Chains A and B, each alone.
Chain A
């Protein structure tokens, strides 16, 4: 069983261009480790100093994970995870 993770354009260099990949994990942290095992380097683009990067948004079933416990957010098979970099600037 797997969880589908939607990958934004800028991170598709890690997934050979794939828009979505499967990963596994009972929490977001575990999911990201599983992603990184298959797509080395992607974790560093998502996490900094043990926390989600400020300008990376991750959604589980359309909900921003910041409201679901961040990296501790619990996941189940069939959940839909979307990664989107913030559109922001100065």
Chain B
């Protein structure tokens, strides 16, 4: 199960809507081993594409060095689908390289840049196997601990 606070949930949705029709992507980091998505980080989609995303290689290194220094790990790796459902594509599955992360997919196909609900779904992707999990949105993460 993914437990996420409302502000982070909203930030992911806002990013996806803003970047539509290009795929939005980013990460939510958290303390190693805690499974708490605490630090929301928007990434630039270097591919700038409606059907593909990739972090810029320099940004990627910066991100991982920073997480390393802070004893963090990627808790959520999110991206949007702009014309299809919020389910991992074959490419998503083949390239998934963080077996410990929650892979969040947001679909903006219904409302694009406009107001309106979006599909927000979360998965584990481990060695090519996709398992959907429940998403629980809480007011703040702190109230849980």
Q: Are A10 and B27 in contact (CB under 8 A)?
A: no
Contact of A89 among B64, B79, B100 (CB under 8 A): B79
CB proximity of A70 to chain B, nearest CB, Å = 13
Q: Roughly how many angstroms separate A10 CA and B77 CA in the complex, as a whole number? A: 15
0/1 string, B82-118, CB within 8 A of A gives 1: 0000001111100111111000000000000000000
- Chain A residues near B53: list those with CB within 8 A: 88-90
Contact present for B52 and A85 (CB under 8 Å): no
Chain A, interface residues (CB within 8 Å), range = 10 to 19
Pick the most buried of A57, A85, A87: most chain B CB atoms within 10 A of its CB.
A87
Number of residues on chain B facing chain A (CB within 8 A): 28
Q: Are B61 and A86 in contact (CB under 8 A)?
A: no
Q: Does B58 contact A (CB under 8 A)?
A: yes
The answer to whether B61 and A62 touch across the interface, beta carbons within 8 angstroms, is yes
- B55 on the interface (CB 8 Å rule)? yes
Spell out A's residues near B (CB within 8 Å).
8-10, 55, 57, 59, 62, 64, 66, 82, 84-90
